[in-house]
Amino acid sequence: MDIKHKIRLALPIVIYGIFYMASFRLLEQIDYDHYFTPYVWIDHEIPFVPWFVFPYLAWFIWVPGILIYLLINDEHEFRKSRSMLIIGMTLFLLFSALFPTKLFLRPYADPNAGISYWLLSRLYSADTATNVFPSIHVYNTCATLYSIYMSDAPLFKSRGFRIFACAVSLLICMSTMLIKQHSIVDVAGAIVMFVIVAAIVQEYHKKYDPVLAAGA
């Protein structure tokens, strides 16, 4: 394995990840005069299930893990996944800057009520209820699941792993609503954005991937 080549492939998403986190933190600190509220009545019918914080937090391991495996085993799909993630997160930053959103769904999470509540209290304090549309948790989960199904990597071609990946992805997407981190509108917006971006990226890489492969 050519380590230098792999590093060159990974560097754009690593650099972008640093830029994204810095931009997101900056947006979180801005106190806008007006916020849009992505809310529908069904959001209050969705139950609050504290233990879903575990699949929600698993996202922080799942998405990088899928990317690393693709980087090692399927460079073609890694480049596509890299493009989808960068485009989607950039659109999210633009949405958040131009149309700031805020939710009022969170219950009080007593940190002394158990490990789930303690984790939720930490999550709520670290990530405010602003800048929620579309859900990047859902968007990136859809993008990585798509990459798993499109990849020729040995593990990802396994029927058992694909079933497991679908289950994990479903739990992560459900968790965004069941811990009241996101509205169903945020989830729907993320899925629509993913479908559009995935189609564009698929066509772009189908046409230009031989050139990209030579230069990336």
74, part of any domain? yes
Residue 40 located in a structural domain:
no
Q: Does pTM top 0.95 for this prediction? A: no
Q: What is the pLDDT of residue 102?
A: 94
Q: Is residue 19 part of a domain?
A: no
Q: How far is CA 150 from CA 70, 143, 201, in A?
A: 11, 11, 13
What pLDDT does 212 receive?
A: 47
Mean pLDDT of 26-34: 89
- Taking only the tens place, the pLDDT of each residue in 161-213 is 999 999 999 999 999 999 999 999 999 999 999 999 999 998 888 776 654 44
pLDDT of residue 216: 45
Domain count of the chain? 1
Full residue range of the structural domain in which residue 67 is found: 50-215
pLDDT in tens, 166-178: 999 999 999 999 9
